[in-house]
A and B are shown apart, each in its own frame.
Chain A
């Protein structure tokens, strides 16, 4: 490669990169304002470009009637909303006002496409049509979902992408288009021709980023949008309309997309589905910018362009493999810069209301549920007798998908880790067995362990890279894995490439090859039912509870002794093993492999199935895959008969149905069905009274120093939150920490509990210097509660409490899935119940923790902390929200704990409570220790009186 080639490639990379940068900017804008991961951003590009070209060809582009349709829908939806609220007249006028802009654009475009306008006017019109559609899309698709989780918004975006691609094929046809050049000048720079076009795109990108940056910092409107991005509820309270901010950001995003489309249409061939890959690369750029910074995202996108350009020169077959493999280390560097325990943004999903049923009614419903379960298994068993071979074959595809989605339920629904890579692991399982059994003639039964082992190793590797990543980095990392895997499947010589791998031997049972779909049905559905049972067992066990706790925050789980990192890896590996198993089955059932069933699109589709069915529920896995697979097949069979037109209609209808469904049931179909039928009943617990309790640890004797804080300071940048603080906590003593708000009590709490590391000084726990890791401290005997209650709302009270005893038993995943963990489980539950009884919550043991009153949730946290058998208990404002009698009961409990030799540190604002309870009090102010002494001494301390009465607060 000489210099000229290098320069050539650089100019090509930058020319592509700036287009990605434009899209990245739009994606960042949308995400920061609306939390929507807008997958179809690239679609705006192809729509803009193809509309522009259609106008040049003297046609009336199909996007114009489409805009009309969107306007009509918008009015209808607004009116329907108004009808319900009986304010139809006012809403009619407001609905019409909302569509006034798009209507004008529609009229202009309609007129404009009747004449032959100059090129630039056509460009403006094309951009205007797409831009006008942006806010309408937001209103129709996303506004009803303003409070949905990021995952649901992502899935809706995927559905919208399906619809837009399908419509594009219908409107623009399958053939590609290219526009007449806008600027036909090239400037030679050092022998490399630089197209005027490229300079134009660069100029516009830089100008746009500058304008957006300026607007977000210096204009009222921009600041309002920024406010929505930071805090939706707060913004709403301040009178800023989130809907308006959403519409505005969609207007801008559609404008940017269409502009990019018009700009690139002269330089390349635009197909109806060109946009998706462009958008994907924009998305990657946006992630590299942390989905927050416009300039960094733009630079990231340009970097992608350059990577692509150079790798297409060196190894075009492995271009995407190279680009996306390089992204992962970049992501790793990004996360390593972050602090130690990452607290993700958690979507607080509403916990479904629990039915208040009499024991008799509960028993009846449980019986119905069991009956239905048995009926379901019988129905599954009866299917081969009722259905034809083809129908059974379809059910086999459902079963295979359900096995993969079952893994996603654990990984995404329960553990909260979004993965696009599941299809890749299906592919690994399938290709391993396909290659080994067809090339070396090895029996498929022997390749099963091999396929699982390889998948396990690759899943471990994959998870070591990805699980460390948090927030938005994880989905992107898995997406990169998925893309890398797909192009390896397509490019490696062993896989048969795009042409596929044939001649995979059938599975043989007792010397006979299994061919018939019905025989396969037995295997696939038998495996599925067993795996469902195992998964349901697993979730109802010690490791299962730990995984279910992951979504509620890493700090909470770590503070209960849960190794969140290991749990995430375990969830990832289990999900990948299920995927690989499905792949192995698939390879021998289908006996033909090509890369498309293992593509990233398919990975997205698995996620789609999980969310449609209900991402957190085992039943949802089956419902979701059943609906998606069968509906697709049904639409594919019947739509051509009904419509008889060109286009991807099944995908359009399917996408629209999926969006409508998620607007109505954002939690998925299965949970909605459970609520509808009233069959969401808590698990029945049977406890033997004489269950053994887990072993207790050796406790320090009363009076012994449990915790010694020596001269700790903590600085956050220039702010000193704690300055040179020392204190002791002794066994059998209650130490209270008081002080006005902002005095540094919470920071000190964090330093003691290991959430933060002191800038200087040190903390000794039980005579050893603290490791400043919450998990280690918890396991060593430090129990804590949180100022803002952190529980797992969808778990029952007793399960939440048992989580506290997590570190006191060891149960393997396999033992849990096989139900071999019952003696240990009984021990943990017995301990949880004992602690609940102690704090007076045993009556509520089987209710969902989320439905407790706030005060009771605080008490639950104490029970949970006690279940870990601590010798030091850290309580952060435990009396807040408690009623008088409850406070008395709490005081009684703490006194009893003290008598048992527990050391207690308590932060509390209720002075009566503190003065009656504490043995010693430490008063803090401005990050420093102001005074220390018995309650009597503190009450007489002039400095304290000054601080409290003198107007510090």
Chain B
């Protein structure tokens, strides 16, 4: 019996071995299920749009879902690195997930293109983090834009309400770091659960603290409930949202009650309103078109971060390919060097300029402030 089991285990493990060799292998991790699936699903859908042929190389994308769970992300990364021997990794979707996989990335000396907001994956730059390149607007860029808007509008006190999951915790952390230098005081700090059907208690607490403004830190449809509850209970101040709310559901579910919300997000969200002076306009449109062609609906902004990772690979794989063969440590090192030297690459949401010290790429041009007016996004000039 036990022998049979041993064979069975061996058989299962053999079956786990990956598919046939391709020229360049890229592992993609996104959270297509679980709490941040609203972010991850668009990223997963975008994988199908990534370039399958770059220069003389065919690119094989291997996809895994991490269930929005950092621990699962580390398991996925280990599989990519040890089993599939990938040349690069795109993902994971969540900031904590990316932080969790850092040691494995550094140990294996493999490039990771992380579509996450937190700057902690690339700052302060050290030996571990030099393998990571960020393809999403820095959380602090988003928060800085929001805080700048708050300051301009005379906001002195503010409340934060975020989900009790990695995403909400991360937004909260970045927000608190951004308001301190601006002299804005946080006077209520509440959490709620994504599955909560009521946030009346938290909302009442915020209203009794009477802040000038409230920031909601959540993603997708979850962003709506706190704001609508605040409005229903008679809150008169302004409600801010992060780019987590930059989804069609926010407008649909929020209806009239979210009119006047201010959020900071990528120019892609208001593609038609941005002027041609925004460098990423054309590139953003290319992504929107490609996505719409396959899925029949326009994408939100989250998938664009994976699309941009594809653009970065498109530029750098041919360069690395001149120095070494894919599948070798030399190729991975060359790819890293090439990425570090990317200059003026226009992505769907901004322009990438990498340096050895700065792997976060985007500058402030990748963020615009947007408001909701009559049920539609409206660019704030």
A residues in contact (CB < 8 Å) with B: 1, 5, 8-9, 12, 15-16, 19, 169, 173-178, 264, 267-271, 273-274, 276-278, 308-314, 316-317, 319-320, 369, 372-373, 375-376, 379-380, 383, 386-391, 393-395, 397, 487, 490-491, 497-500, 502, 515, 590-592, 594, 596-597, 623, 626, 630, 633-634, 636-638, 640-641, 646-648, 651, 673-674, 677, 679
Cα–Cα distance between A646 and B83 once the two chains are bound (Å): 24
B96 near A594 with CB under 8 A, answer yes
- Known A274-B195, A309-B201, A499-B173; judge A390-B78 contact (CB<8 A): yes
Q: Whole-angstrom distance between the alpha carbons of A498 and B162 in the complex?
A: 12
List, in ascending order, chain A residues with CB within 8 A of B347's CB.
none
Number of B residues, CB within 8 Å of A: 71
The complex places the Cα of A16 from the Cα of B200 at a distance, in Å, of 10
Chain B residue contacts of A274, Cβ below 8 A: 195, 197
The A-contacting residues of B in range 1-38, CB under 8 angstroms, are 1-3, 5-6, 9-10, 12-13, 15-16, 19, 32-33, 37-38
Enumerate chain B residues within 8 angstroms of A590, measured Cβ to Cβ. 71, 74
Residues of A close to B3: CB separation below 8 A: 372, 375-376, 379
Bound CA span A8–B95, Å: 37
Report yes or no: B100 in contact with A592, Cβ–Cβ below 8 A: yes
Q: Is the CB of A12 within 8 A of B64?
A: no
Residues of chain A contacted by B69 (CB below 8 angstroms): 594, 596-597
Report how far A679 CA is from B3 CA in the complex, Å: 14
Most A Cβ at <10 Å: residue of B95, B195, B200: B195
Contact indicator A316/B202 (Cβ below 8 Å): yes
User: B residues within 8 A CB of A673?
Assistant: 1
Is residue B99 contacting chain A, with contact meaning CB distance below 8 A? yes
Q: A264 near B197 (CB under 8 angstroms)?
A: yes
Which B-chain residue is minimally distant from A265 (CB atoms)? B197
B30-50 CB mask vs A (1 if < 8 Å, else 0) is 001100011001001100000
B322 within 8 A of A: no
For the complex, what is the distance from the CA of A637 to the CA of B27, rounded to whole Å? 12
Q: Would you give the shortest CB distance from B315 to chain A, in whole angstroms?
A: 27
Residues B253 and A9 in contact, CB atoms below 8 Å apart: no
Looking at chain B's contact residues, the main secondary structure is helix
Contacts of A592 in B (CB 8 A): 70-71, 74, 99-100, 103
Query: Are B99 and A500 in contact, with the CB atoms below 8 A?
Result: yes
Interchain CB contact (< 8 A) of A498 among B12, B82, B169: B169
Which B residues contact A (CB, under 8 angstroms)? 1-3, 5-6, 9-10, 12-13, 15-16, 19, 32-33, 37-38, 41, 44-45, 63-65, 69-71, 74-75, 78-79, 81-83, 95-96, 99-100, 102-103, 107, 164-166, 168-170, 173, 190-202, 204-205, 208, 220-222, 224-225, 233, 247, 249, 253
CA distance A389 to B13 in the complex (A): 11
CA distance A487 to B191 in the complex (A): 12
24 example contacts (A-B, Cβ-Cβ < 8 A) are as follows: A1-B208, A5-B208, A169-B33, A174-B38, A174-B41, A175-B247, A176-B253, A268-B197, A271-B195, A274-B195, A278-B195, A309-B198, A372-B1, A375-B6, A390-B79, A390-B82, A391-B83, A397-B75, A500-B99, A592-B71, A636-B65, A637-B64, A646-B41, A679-B1
In contact, B96 and A16 (Cβ under 8 angstroms): no
Give A307 to B67 CA distance when docked, in angstroms: 31
A499 contact set on B, CB distance < 8 A: 95-96, 99, 166, 169-170, 173
> Is B192 a contact of A316 with CB atoms below 8 Å?
yes
What residues of chain A lie closer than 8 Å to B233, measured between beta carbons? Answer: 8
**CB-defined contacts of A596 to chain B, threshold 8 Å:** 69-71
Please give, as numbers and ranges, the residues of chain A lying within 8 Å of B64 by CB-CB distance.
Answer: 636-637, 640
Q: Is the CB of A594 within 8 A of B70?
A: yes
Residue of A nearest to B71 (CB): A597
B198 x A15 contact (CB < 8 A) = yes
Q: Which residues of A contact B37 (CB under 8 A)?
A: 169, 174
Bound complex: CA of A271 vs CA of B247, how far in Å? 15
Are B168 and A498 interface neighbours, CB within 8 A?
A: yes
List 16 other contacts, CB 8 Å, given A499-B169, A630-B9: A12-B198, A174-B220, A268-B197, A271-B221, A271-B222, A276-B195, A277-B195, A312-B198, A317-B164, A390-B78, A391-B83, A498-B170, A594-B69, A626-B9, A633-B75, A646-B45
Which interface residue of B3, B165, B173, B201 has the most chain A CB atoms within 10 A?
B201
Asked whether B99 lies within 8 Å of A9 as measured between CB atoms, the reply is: no
Does the CB pair A175–B38 fall under 8 Å?
yes
Is the pair B16, A277 in contact by a Cβ cutoff of 8 Å? no
Q: Is the CB of B224 within 8 A of A500?
A: no
Shortest distance in angstroms between B220's beta carbon and chain A's nearest beta carbon?
6
Contact B83 A388 (CB under 8 A): yes
Among candidates B165, B168, B195, residue contacting A273 with C-beta atoms closer than 8 Å: B195
Q: Which of chain A's residues have a CB closer than 8 A to the CB of B99?
A: 499-500, 502, 592
Distance of A375 Cα from B63 Cα, bound (Å): 37
Closest B residue by C-beta to A277: B195
Q: A174-B38, A175-B220, A390-B79 in contact; A623/B71 too (CB < 8 A)?
A: no
Residues of chain A within 8 A (CB-CB) of B253 are 176-178, 269
